[in-house]
């Protein structure tokens, strides 16, 4: 199978760069595989095994070099499977002389394949011959070939661009994967039943499998870092639905969950689970004396406080930062706009950890979330006085002049605010709606025009620029801005794509869906009251009161 288009040609160095990525990332091409482990690397010259410095690092180095110290490598793999009971062994052969890479699987569920660089073009070939060979050829053409091309071209020659950091680098990946499969088998179906019984609105598949993966990671981490893993006693701060606490308890680990609001799922857990409806006050936190690990699993406003609290209490911590906040409880202020907002906040959380004296570790989890980078603090070297001095200096940056020298901390309220414009004063909303409506009217068509004036379209930016700072601030504090205001007034405005807003053409009663019948003739017609030409529909046709 050959790439015919000249634009798909690659250099030999690009080919080997792609092979270097393929060797350790085969799982990206096969959804049955969780991760690839290289168990042994053998080095050959003139058909003789050398085994001199033959390891994964040596292999990767040789793949990136122009001149090499051997002719080929034989690589032994262990493929960790996602659902299969047993892991799968495989063999790969890199041949620099033939410019090929072969991969062979003893398991019949996987197809052997060959990749070759020939006449400046990339070729892939399936080596397995079986009745389902057609499916294997499709995989080679539409999965293996495009991905390998992308990997090969992901690095310009001479840039020295490093490969992305690996996931799960702080734990034994095989132990983690085996445990994760076991946790899914033991808990997933039961937890899904809980979700259905309480009619929980959130996606069970995301939350259940994400928290099972986090539980598997923590248990594996504790087994790697603690002399007595069973002695770990955790406090999950901002535990939400308590799912992580429940799973860890069920696996024999003692711990507590704290959240400012009780969740419906709490009533379905065993009676001995210790979940507390309690606000965590950073300046006066009180936890059970046996706690030696703090957990922040997407803990929002508490996320920057996790390293601080762990340092104060002399515990270890695990943190998955999510929504960005300052120590003061205010929204996070960007420090570095050259990177993403998430990376910027993650670096801030890491800096907090280091300033508190932690030897801070990072790891990338494999969970169904875009926020998967974790911070882990195992050992703290700063004194309590040093930590407090740094915290007070941070809070002083956002001093407001009130109590405690302006260094108050405002975290989440127990009663969650409704932010959908329903709390904005009615007269203010009506004024803004009418102001935007008049902006959209095309004044070139007067009230005496023969056809009804549908107005013009404006971008959200143009509308925002026409409003005063006070008007914008008033609606942003309650609903997130203009967009929610316009959506709530959907009988007047419509979103026309490409960020454009226009006036909605009135719909007659006959055009309404049956489910909307109860809304007919309940409110006054906006167009009858405010459009220079009135409503284009008759009294009988219009679904509003004329």
Q: Which of 70, 1, 79, 69 is nearest to 35 (CA)?
A: 79
The lowest-confidence range among 58-72, 172-186, 471-485 is 471-485
The lowest-confidence range among 32-36, 74-78, 201-205, 322-326 is 201-205
Q: What pLDDT was estimated at residue 161? A: 44
- Per-residue pLDDT at 403 exceeds 50: no
- Which of the two residues, 480 and 153, has the higher pLDDT score? 153
CA distances from residue 193 to 50, 103, 200, 205, 257 in whole angstroms, order as listed: 57, 42, 11, 12, 21
The lowest-confidence range among 326-340, 497-511, 528-542 is 497-511
Please name the residue that has the structure tokens 């006050």: 281
Tokens, residue 26? 């085969």
Tell me the mean pLDDT in the region 304-330: 93
Tell me the mean pLDDT in the region 491-508: 88
- Per-residue pLDDT at 456 exceeds 80: yes
Q: How far apart are CA 357 and CA 339, in angstroms?
A: 25
Q: How many CB atoms lie within 10 A of CB 234?
A: 25
- Per-residue pLDDT at 406 exceeds 60: no
Taking the CA atoms of 331, 332, 337 and 342 in sequence, report the sign of the dihedral they define. negative
- Per-residue pLDDT at 83 exceeds 80: yes
- Per-residue pLDDT at 404 exceeds 50: no
- Per-residue pLDDT at 492 exceeds 50: yes
- Per-residue pLDDT at 194 exceeds 60: yes
Tell me the mean pLDDT in the region 377-396: 91
Q: How far apart are CA 254 and CA 232, in angstroms?
A: 7
- Per-residue pLDDT at 119 exceeds 70: yes
Contact 181, 44 (CB under 8 A): no
Q: Which of 248, 240, 390 is nearest to 307 (CA)?
A: 390
Query: 251: Cβ–Cβ under 8 A, 6 or more apart, which residues?
Result: 183, 215, 219
CA distances from residue 405 to 283, 393, 394, 396, 477 in whole angstroms, order as listed: 14, 12, 13, 8, 26
- Considering 43-52, 85-94, 103-112, the range whose residues carry the highest mean pLDDT is 85-94
Please name the residue that has the structure tokens 């009130």: 402
Q: Which of 42, 52, 117 is nearest to 72 (CA)?
A: 42
- Per-residue pLDDT at 423 exceeds 80: no
Per the rule left: phi > 0, alpha: psi between -120 and 50, beta: everything else, 404 is left
- Per-residue pLDDT at 293 exceeds 70: yes
Q: What pLDDT was estimated at residue 469? A: 80
Q: What pLDDT was estimated at residue 156? A: 45
Q: What pLDDT was estimated at residue 170? A: 95
Percentage of residues of the chain with pLDDT beyond 90: 55
In three-state secondary structure terms, 105 is: coil
In three-state secondary structure terms, 332 is: coil
Please name the residue that has the structure tokens 């070759």: 116
Q: What pLDDT was estimated at residue 3? A: 40
Tell me the mean pLDDT in the region 464-472: 83
Give the number of residues written for the chain: 546
- The full DSSP string for 352-407 is HHHHTTEEEEEEE--SSSS--EEEEEEEE-S-HHHHHHHHHHHHHTT--SSTGGG-
Tell me the mean pLDDT in the region 174-203: 92
DSSP assignment letter at 140: I
Q: What pLDDT was estimated at residue 158? A: 43
Tokens, residue 197? 């019984």
User: For the segment 509-541, what is each residue's pLDDT rounded down to a tens digit?
Assistant: 776 665 566 667 888 899 999 999 899 999 888
Q: What pLDDT was estimated at residue 352? A: 95
- Per-residue pLDDT at 345 exceeds 80: yes
- Per-residue pLDDT at 327 exceeds 70: yes
Mean pLDDT of the chain: 86
Q: What pLDDT was estimated at residue 263? A: 92
Tell me the mean pLDDT in the region 397-425: 53
Q: 295-304 b/e with 16+ CB inside 10 Å = b?
A: bbbbbbbbbb
């Amino acid at each position: 199978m050959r790439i015919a288009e000249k634009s798909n040609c690659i250099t030999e160095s690009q080919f080997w760069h792609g092979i270097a990525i393929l060797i350790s990332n085969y799982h990206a091409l096969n959804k049955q595989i969780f991760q690839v482990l290289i168990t042994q690397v053998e080095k050959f010259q003139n058909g003789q095994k050398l085994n001199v410095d033959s390891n994964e690092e040596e292999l990767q180095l040789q793949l990136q070099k122009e001149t090499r110290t051997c002719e080929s490598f034989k690589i032994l793999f262990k493929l960790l499977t996602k659902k299969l009971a047993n892991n799968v062994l495989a063999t790969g052969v890199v041949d620099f002389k033939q410019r090929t890479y072969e991969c062979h699987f003893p398991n019949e569920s996987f197809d052997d394949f060959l990749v070759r660089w020939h006449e400046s073009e990339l070729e892939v070939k399936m080596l397995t011959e079986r009745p389902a060979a057609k499916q294997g050829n499709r995989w080679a053409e539409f999965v293996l070939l495009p991905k390998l091309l992308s990997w090969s071209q992901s690095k310009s020659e001479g840039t020295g661009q490093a490969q992305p950091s690996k996931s799960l680098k702080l734990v034994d990946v095989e132990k983690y994967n085996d445990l994760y499969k076991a946790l899914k088998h033991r808990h997933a179906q039961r937890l899904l039943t809980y979700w259905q019984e309480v009619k929980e609105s959130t996606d069970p598949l995301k939350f259940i499998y994400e928290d099972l993966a986090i539980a598997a990671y923590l248990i594996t981490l504790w087994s790697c870092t603690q002399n007595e893993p069973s002695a770990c006693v955790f406090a999950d701060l901002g535990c939400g639905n308590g799912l992580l606490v429940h799973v860890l308890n069920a696996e024999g680990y003692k711990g507590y969950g704290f959240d400012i609001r009780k969740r419906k799922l709490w009533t379905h857990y065993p009676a001995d689970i210790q979940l507390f409806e309690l606000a965590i006050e950073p300046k006066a936190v009180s936890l059970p004396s046996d706690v030696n690990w703090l957990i922040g699993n997407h803990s929002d406003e508490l996320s920057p406080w996790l390293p601080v609290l762990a340092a104060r209490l002399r515990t270890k911590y695990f943190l998955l930062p999510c929504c960005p906040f300052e120590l003061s409880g205010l929204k996070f202020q960007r420090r570095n706009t050259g990177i993403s907002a998430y990376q910027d906040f993650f670096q801030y959380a890491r800096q907090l950890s280091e300033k508190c004296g932690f030897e801070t570790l990072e790891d990338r989890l494999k969970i169904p979330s875009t926020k998967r980078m974790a911070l882990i603090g195992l050992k703290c070297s700063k004194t309590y006085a040093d930590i407090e001095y740094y915290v007070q200096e941070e809070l002083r940056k956002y001093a407001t002049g009130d109590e405690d020298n302006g260094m108050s901390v405002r975290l989440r309220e127990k009663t969650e605010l409704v932010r959908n414009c329903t709390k904005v004063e009615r007269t203010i909303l009506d004024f803004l709606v009418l102001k935007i409506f008049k902006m959209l009217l095309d004044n070139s068509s007067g009230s005496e025009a023969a056809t009804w004036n549908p107005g013009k379209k404006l971008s959200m930016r143009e509308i925002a620029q026409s409003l005063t700072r006070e008007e914008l601030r008033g609606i942003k504090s309650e609903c997130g801005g203009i967009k929610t205001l316009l959506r709530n007034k959907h009988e007047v405005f419509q979103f026309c794509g490409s960020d454009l807003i226009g006036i909605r053409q009135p719909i007659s009663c006959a055009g309404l869906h049956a489910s909307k019948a109860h809304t007919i003739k309940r409110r006054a017609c906006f167009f009858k009251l405010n459009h220079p030409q009135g409503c284009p529909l008759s009294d009988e046709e219009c679904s509003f009161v004329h």
